[in-house]
Amino acid sequence: MPPDAATRRSAPYRLSRFAAFTLVELLVVIAIIGVLVALLLPAVQAAREAGRRTQCVNHLKQMALAAMNHVADHGHYPTGGWGYRWVGDADSGYGGNQPGSWAYNLLAYTDNQPLRDLGHGVVSNYVLGLEASLESRAEMVQLVTTALPLFNCPSKRPLTTHLLVDSTFPVLAFNAQDCEVGSCYVARSDYRACAGNRSRADNVGPAPGTIKPFLEGPVPTSYNGVIYRRSEVSVAHVTDGTSHTVLAGEKALHPNNYLTGTDSSDDQSLYTGHDQDNSGNTGEGGAITIAQPYPPVKDGSADKSVHRFRFGAAHPTTFQMAFCDGSAHTYGYDVDPDVFALLGGRNDGD
């Protein structure tokens, strides 16, 4: 037999012998792929978190710039509203007579003018003791059930509305249509304004029959931040400097309460007036000193109650704050508590 014929007959055998994987080789390849995936997954997750964190700080920058435009138009930073039983009112202006939150007061400066205009021209004069009209109340429900991407941190929870489960009151707000507990979904905020470093925010607001004396009474002086109940703080009032005074920041919230609506600092809408849902502090104390700094809290790193009134975030190592000069900055959770507390006050000399 010619040598080349023998070679041709044995070639398929050699090819088949070397073309197949053995079980050991297959297991090795699978193991290598698993190792590569394990190495790449944290990098992919870190890249995604970096993107979410960038989006979050951009939200704060937009809020800060909107607040500066608010100052340019009205002479003061957005007011904090009346309390958590009131939502925004299109006919009540931008100062202390406005019952809605600081977020509501920024709507016109964040390309959300149609939301701001809901209820315009159809509200009865409840300042004089009259109730809001039914048409206005219905439009206010439309307002509070509208979620906004600007006030959502993508690292914390999805952009959606959340079930209202507060059974203390049978209504959504004094100036909104009655809302049955367990069937009403409202928009919430992942950010809170800074009321200072002395007094905490937690107010129901005036009952409808007591609005006139409420508005004729003095504006609270216990707060030394820039946004609080009925506030009208101008740039001149920020004697510590606008670049050294916090305007707003990310809201600390325990992960177990992201979607439940059972946390007292996350049970109202983002449009309601001054309350721990949308207002926080960097400390608490007397009229002059900070008795207790409120260091930032990483979501889930402490008891649920510790998160209330505090700034913090769902980000693994950092949280972000907006300042009165229109800037936004990133801090680690290990920031000095005393230094952080001082950033919340507008006029404490530091």
What are the pLDDT digits (tens) for 208-259? 778 877 888 888 888 999 999 999 999 999 999 999 999 999 999 999 999 9
CA angle, 211 as apex, 210 and 212 as ends, to 5°? 95
pTM of the model: 0.84
Q: Which of 140-144, 265-269, 330-334 has the lowest mean pLDDT?
A: 140-144
Q: Does residue 347 contact residue 237 with C-beta atoms inside 8 Å?
A: yes
In the predicted model, is pLDDT for residue 176 greater than 70? yes
Residue 60 pLDDT class (50, 70, 90 cuts): very high
Q: Above 70 in pLDDT, residue 124?
A: no
Query: Residue 15: pLDDT band by 50, 70, 90 thresholds?
Result: very low
Separation of alpha carbons 92 and 103, rounded Å: 15
pLDDT given for residue 132 in this prediction: 56
Q: Which of 240, 317, 315 is nearest to 282 (CA)?
A: 240
Q: Which residue type is seen at 125? A: N
Q: Quick one: pLDDT at residue 126?
A: 55
* Rounded Cα–Cα distance for residues 216 and 96 (Å): 10
pLDDT band at residue 28 using 50, 70 and 90 as cut-offs: confident
Specify the pLDDT at position 180: 66
- Measured CA to CA in angstroms, residue 32 lies from 27, 41, 312, 348 at distances of 9, 14, 39, 59
Percent of the chain with pLDDT over 70: 84
pLDDT category of residue 148 using cuts at 50, 70 and 90: very high
| Rounded-to-integer distance, Cα 226 and Cα 245, Å | 8
Q: Which amino acid is at 99?
A: P
Q: For residue 58, what pLDDT is reported?
A: 97
More confident residue, 214 or 6: 214
Nearest to 149 by CA among 280, 58, 236, 80: 58
Q: If you compute the radius of gyration of the chain from its CA atoms, what whole number of angstroms results?
A: 27
> Of 12-16, 94-98, 118-122, 333-337, where does mean pLDDT reach its minimum?
12-16
Tell whether the model's pLDDT for residue 12 goes beyond 90: no
Instruction: Go through the chain and tell me how many residues it has.
Output: 350
pLDDT band, residue 201 (cuts 50/70/90): low
Closest CA to 325 of 227, 223, 241: 241
| CB-based contacts of 338-342 (< 8 A; 24+ apart in sequence) | 338/290, 338/293, 340/282, 340/293, 340/295, 340/296, 341/197, 341/282, 341/283, 341/290, 341/293, 341/294, 341/295, 342/197, 342/282, 342/290
Lowest mean pLDDT among 10-14, 85-89, 249-253, 260-264: 10-14
Token pair, residue 104, equals 């509501």
The answer to whether 67 and 83 have CB atoms below 8 angstroms apart is no
Take residue 180 and report the two structure tokens written for it.
């049955």
User: What are the tokens at 31?
Assistant: 């193991």
Who wins on pLDDT, 152 or 291?
152
pLDDT above 80 (res 153): yes
Confidence of residue 63 (pLDDT cuts 50, 70, 90): very high
Ramachandran assignment for 251, one of left (phi > 0), alpha (psi -120 to 50 degrees), beta (any other): beta
Report the range out of 131-145, 170-184, 241-255 with the highest average pLDDT.
241-255
Regarding beta strands 185-187 and 161-163, do their DSSP bridges make them parallel or antiparallel, or are they unpaired?
antiparallel
User: What CA–CA distances, in Å, run from 319 to 43, 45, 218, 299, 316?
Assistant: 20, 18, 35, 10, 9
pLDDT(303) > 90: no
Average pLDDT, the chain: 85
Burial of residue 92 (CB within 10 Å: 0-12, 13-18, 19+) is: buried
Tell me the C-alpha distance between 192 and 278, whole Å.
4
